Chains A and B, each alone.
Chain A
Amino acid sequence: MRGFAGVSLAATLPGALAACGGSGAGPLAQSTAPSVEPKRGGRMRAAFIGGSNETANILKSTNTPIDYVRTRVVYDVLCDIDADGKPTLVLAEEIAPNADGSQWTIRLREGITFHDGRTMTSEDVLHTLRTYVDQQSNTAPLLMDIDLANAKRQDDRTLVLPMLRPHGFLDLALTQGVFVFSKDTTDFDKAIGSGPFTVDRLEPGKGGLLKRNPNYWRPEGGPYLDELELLSIADPEARLNALKAGQLDYAASIPLTSARVERDNADVKLFVPPKWEWANFGASMKRTKEPFTDPRITQALRYAVDRQKMVDNVTLGFGELGNDLFGKHLPYYAEDLPQREYDPERAKKLLKDAGMSDLKLKIRTSDYEYGLTEGAVAFAEHAKAAGITIELDKVPAADFLADYKVFIGAQFQSANRKPRPLPLDVLFFYGSDALLPFTGLAGEKVDQLAASVRTAVTEEQRRTSMGDLQELLSEEGGDLVWARAPICSAGTPKVNGVKSLGYPGFPSFRDAFLA
């Protein structure tokens, strides 16, 4: 029943969505930098994970991959995230903090037009931000630090945002599904956007047909396609079969196992995202629950996993080693920390020092997506050499994420985290006011480090604070990242110009074309 993964999932903050991936040797297309000249025209048919919570509502656009894909081309964001994991400006020509991050200024580009022909102003942006927060939309948590009550429109293109507490990277937060819509919007299901495509037909649960916006305001790049048809197909095998049977041009999020099968198929082009977007396979240990309160135990477990075997067997040779930290290949990642090796003897010694030589654990896992159960089974095998017994507590896919409290509160659990820009990830996961305290890591030291990350404005401050925090995580954190692997998609050889821009499971089709 793995095919139903994602059906029940609504990721509030993108990047946590269901998808499985894979890639490797063989003829692979990097989903960046098309090698062919863009060609105008045609209809591209693309299928994505949908779900019962598909909706046309702009405020819930991050519910499911298919909604997200549509929203990404019907609307625009102030800034996007590029293939290197750096912010790249879209609607804004400037997003800048003052010296201490207590105030941000957003300046819009000139001549942005909505689908109804009206020019976008700073009023629309402010209205959008306020609506997201007032309506408790999925992205509201990202905007909580903005003092919206006291936001000021300096002129038609400039917005000044005072912060409730100093904040160093609002630009990165704005890449996470904050789509700008017109202040004239009366129905959130039909919000007026400014994007490269317009909605022609939409039926949540089935899909939709988008048409090229001939008046798109951006001078460079797409849209190239006349029509983009989006279809909701929950089962990854079904998506791939439809592609191979000629019913589709693009099938998003295919499992590693399928990627391995199709690798040498000349009729199927695999799309592999940039390395920073690869998913982090591993597990999460709750530092606030016994026995993980003792950092010697968490460190022992980190030495008890054979990472190379994980890459070979669980990621089917497509992945790369993980080092227990998120954000590999992103700016501010602690490259200098040594790669942790498989060292069961050292794990044994650490356990002995902690008085836990006979450690027995139960890991919560599921077939929710490829790699969770497979990784847990392999880990249990590797850990035997260190005298650790790991039992599997396997829950049905539909239950794995169903209960927020259980999912967030689990003592020991399989994880497959999709990356976000590093400072965001850090603030979501660590510290007393973390939104997603999977490892429960908090306390004075951590909170202080997290605060200095939050308020880091200059490059130097960001590098230093991120470095300090990651050093602590490497010693005392509760994350296990044993391998990283791509979330692959497949298409016909004609498909070009699909860019993941941060989200391989729901990429941007703005520059997509058929050639």
Chain B
Amino acid sequence: MTAEVAVRRAGGLPRFVALRLVAGVGVLLAVSAIVFTATELAPGDAATAALGPDSDPASVVAMRTELGLDRPAVVRYLDWLWGAVGGDFGVSYVSHRPVSDVIAERAGNTALLGGLAVVLLVPLAIGLGVWSALRAGRAADRIVSGATLGLVSVPEFVIGTVLVVVFAVQLGVLPAVSFVPPGQQPLDSPEILVLPVVTLLAVCLAHNVRLVRAGVREVSAGDAAENARLNGVPEHRVVLRYVLPSALPPALPIFCRYAGFLLGGALIAETMFGYPGLASALVTASAGRDVPVVQAVALVAAAVTVLLNLLGDVLAVLLDPKRGVTR
């Protein structure tokens, strides 16, 4: 079902958005329940994970009581949920810091990383895609197509490793690890952002360049553009007036969904480069069975994904060339 049909069924865009937001809340509830159940099923809990293999069983029991882990799972879940509704995600089992503080600090760092990637992704994807499409079959297009095909099939961690070996270890021009010294912010040393952003961008960009290229080629070979060319319209005007307005709108909603996909990439990039973001917080928290933090990060990630998908759908509707006719 296209977004357009869904909007018509919902009876207009505002109602469509409202319905989707309600559904999004439902998704978040489901996510929270799944995450909670998963952490319950995993072996060990925060007490055993924090106290480690050498801990005295008595102190494990004491810590369980202290953390309230001895209460039934349902009670703990509802307790947590009730707090979360009021914006209180509780306290980390491990560091005893308020989870909202952890999230706030880390989410800002990840947003910086992802934001930079998105800001670079859109113009680069459009630029390279269009450039390559208009040179279809020529050397430039071959290079871009070959490179993107190659990148699409390489996992992020391989790209990251190669980048570190070349730029950090061999050339020594960029830091190999993006740590943020105590008392500093990532922007105090922006060079630490370069390699994680490039790693994050590489795969996404390759996907999107191919997408744009395919769209542009299709429209460029279509009747309207061919007609214009036959009528002697200069090529750059053909591209600007006929090709891009039809080729780009379908790509934008997909960009939005890709921004969600960046979250997964961030997980790899952050852990590879030791960058203190949300994704690496999730990794350490799940290893430490720090349920409140895992829950909160999962919810934030799910919420961002839901919102980006919604944005993509709304954009798809707004940019639909048939929209003027149907409404």
Looking at A13, A203, A402, A405, the one whose CB has the most chain B CB atoms below 10 A away is A402
Do the beta carbons of A233 and B274 come within 8 Å of each other? yes
Q: Of residues 162 to 179 in B, which have CB atoms within 8 Å of A's CB atoms?
A: 164, 168-169, 172, 174-177, 179
**Residues of chain B contacted by A206 (CB below 8 angstroms):** 179-182, 276
- Decide: A235 and B272 in contact? CB cutoff 8 A: yes
Give A358-417 interface residues, CB cut-off 8 Å to B.
395, 397-399, 401-408
**Given A206-B181, A206-B182, A404-B60, are A235 and B53 neighbors across the interface (CB < 8 Å)?**
no
A53 to B164 Cα, complex, angstroms: 28
The answer to whether residues A242 and B182 also contact, given A4-B287, A54-B95, A206-B276 and a CB cut-off of 8 A, is no
**Beta-carbon contact of A402 and B44 below 8 Å:** yes
Tell me if A205 counts as interface (CB < 8 A to partner B): yes
**What distance in Å separates the Cβ of B214 from its nearest Cβ neighbour in chain A?**
35
- How far, in whole Å, are A47 and B274 apart by their CA atoms in the complex? 11
CB-CB under 8 A from A398, the residues of chain B are 42, 286-287
Closest to A51 in B: B284
Give chain A residues whose Cβ lies under 8 Å from the Cβ of B287: 4, 7-8, 51-52, 397-398, 402
Q: Does chain A have a CB within 8 A of B127?
A: no
* B contacts with A: majority SS: loop
A402 & B54 in contact (Cβ 8 Å cutoff)? no
Say which residue of A52, A55, A238, A241 sits within 8 Å of B290 (CB atoms). A52
Given A235-B272, A244-B168, verify A53-B95 contact (CB < 8 Å).
Answer: yes
Minimal Cβ-Cβ distance residue in B for A53: B94
- A207 touching B181, Cβ below 8 Å: yes
Instruction: Write the chain A residue with the least CB distance to B284.
Output: A52
Q: Is B305 interfacial (CB-CB < 8 Å)? A: no
| Cα of A239 to Cα of B175 in the assembled complex, Å | 11
B221 at the interface (CB under 8 A from A): no
Identify which of B48, B62, B169, B183 contacts A203 (C-beta below 8 A).
Answer: B183
Give complex CA distance A505, B272 in Å: 21
Given A12-B54, A53-B94, A435-B56: A404 in contact with B44 (beta carbons within 8 A): yes
Interface residue stretch chosen among A109-117, A133-141, A345-353, A465-473: A133-141
- B289: chain A residues within 8 A (beta carbon): 8, 402
| Chain A, range 50-71, C-beta contacts under 8 Å to B | 51-55, 63
- Chain B interface residue count: which class? 35 or more
In the bound complex, residues from chain A placing their C-beta under 8 Å from that of B172 are: 245-246
Does chain B have a CB within 8 A of A202?
A: yes
Smallest beta-carbon distance B100→chain A, Å: 16
The verdict on B114 contacting chain A, using a C-beta distance below 8 Å, is no
Measured between alpha carbons, how far is A236 from B1 in the docked complex, in Å? 48
CB pair A140 B59 closer than 8 Å: yes
Q: Which residues of A contact B48 (CB under 8 A)?
A: 402-405
Q: Known interface pairs A206-B180, A207-B181, A207-B182. Does A238 touch B274 (Cβ–Cβ under 8 Å)?
A: yes
Residues in B with CB closer than 8 Å to A54 are 95
The answer on a CB contact under 8 Å between A3 and B52 is no
Task: Name the A residues within 8 Å of B50 (CB-CB).
Answer: 10, 53, 63
B51 interface residue, CB < 8 Å from A?
Answer: yes
On whether A238 and B288 interact (CB within 8 A), knowing A7-B283, A247-B175, A399-B44, the answer reads no
| Cβ–Cβ < 8 Å partners of B57 in chain A | 404
Is B89 an interface residue, CB under 8 A from the partner?
Answer: no
Interface string of A224-240 (1 = CB under 8 A from B): 00000101111100110
B258 at the interface (CB under 8 A from A): no
Alpha-carbon distance between A54 and B293 when the two chains are bound, in angstroms: 15
Whether the pair B42, A16 counts as a contact (CB closer than 8 A) is no
Chain B, range 187-204, C-beta contacts under 8 Å to A: none
Q: Is A457 an interface position by the 8 A CB rule? A: no
Tell me whether A436 and B54 are in contact (CB under 8 A).
yes
What is the CA–CA distance of A9 and B54 in the complex, to the nearest angstrom? 10
Is B37 an interface position by the 8 A CB rule? no
Chain A residue numbers with a CB within 8 Å of B281 are 52
Residue pair B177, A204 in contact (C-beta under 8 Å): no
A255 cross-chain contacts in B, Cβ below 8 A:
none
In the complex, B126 has a CB within 8 A of chain A = no
Confirm or deny: B43 has a beta carbon within 8 angstroms of a beta carbon on chain A. Answer: yes
Closest beta carbon of chain B to A12's beta carbon, Å: 4
Chain A neighbourhood of B60, CB < 8 A = 404
CA distance A454 to B52 in the complex (A): 25
- Complex CA gap A239/B164 in Å reads 12
Minimum distance in angstroms from A464 CB to a CB of chain B: 28
Does B176 lie within 8 Å of A247, measured CB to CB? Answer: yes
Selected from A12, A242, A404, the residue in CB contact (under 8 A) with B175 is A242
Instruction: Tell whether B36 is near chain A: CB-to-CB under 8 Å.
Output: no
Contacts A16-B52, A52-B285, A238-B274; A245 near B168 (Cβ below 8 A): yes
A7 vs B59: C-alpha distance when bound (angstroms): 20
Q: Is the CB of B177 within 8 A of A399?
A: no
Residues of A within 8 A of B286 (CB): 398
Tell me if A12 and B55 are in contact (CB < 8 A): yes
Cβ-defined partner of B169 (8 Å) among A13, A241, A399: A241
- Residues of B near A55 (CB, < 8 A) are 95
A10 and B52: CB pair below 8 A?
Answer: yes
**CB-based contact B95/A136 at 8 Å:** no
User: Would you call A234 and B274 a contact (CB within 8 A)?
Assistant: yes
Query: Are B276 and A233 touching (Cβ within 8 A)?
Result: no
* Nearest CB on B from A246, distance (A): 6
Tell me whether A141 and B177 are in contact (CB under 8 A): no
Identify the closest chain B residue to A405 (Cβ): B48
Asked, given contacts A54-B95, A209-B182, A403-B43, whether A244 binds B56 with beta carbons under 8 Å apart, the answer is: no
Contact A204 B95 (CB under 8 A): yes
Contact of A244 among B176, B181, B280 (CB under 8 A): B176
A421 within 8 A of B: no
Q: Which residue of A lies closest to B97 (CB)?
A: A204
User: How far is B181's CA from A3's CA once the two chains are assembled, in angstroms?
Assistant: 20
How many angstroms from the CA of A428 to the CA of B283 in the assembled complex? Answer: 32
Interface residues of A in 1-33 (CB under 8 A from B): 3-4, 7-13, 16
Residue of A nearest to B57 (CB): A404
**Distance, CA A207 to CA B183, complexed state (A):** 10
Given A10-B50, A234-B284, A399-B43: A141 touches B180 (CB 8 Å cut-off): no
Residue ranges of B at the interface with A (Cβ–Cβ < 8 Å): 42-45, 48-60, 62, 92, 94-95, 164, 168-169, 172, 174-177, 179-183, 271-274, 276, 280-281, 283-290, 293
- Which A residues have a C-beta under 8 Å from some C-beta of B? 3-4, 7-13, 16, 47, 51-55, 63, 136, 138, 140-141, 201-209, 229, 231-235, 238-239, 241-242, 244-247, 395, 397-399, 401-408, 428, 435-436
16 contacts between A and B (CB under 8 A): A3-B271, A4-B287, A7-B283, A9-B53, A11-B52, A52-B95, A140-B59, A141-B56, A206-B180, A209-B182, A233-B274, A238-B272, A242-B179, A401-B44, A402-B42, A407-B53
Leading 3 A-B pairs by shortest Cβ distance: A402-B44, A8-B287, A403-B44
Known: A53-B288, A436-B54. 5 other contacts (CB 8 A): A136-B62, A138-B51, A204-B95, A242-B177, A404-B55
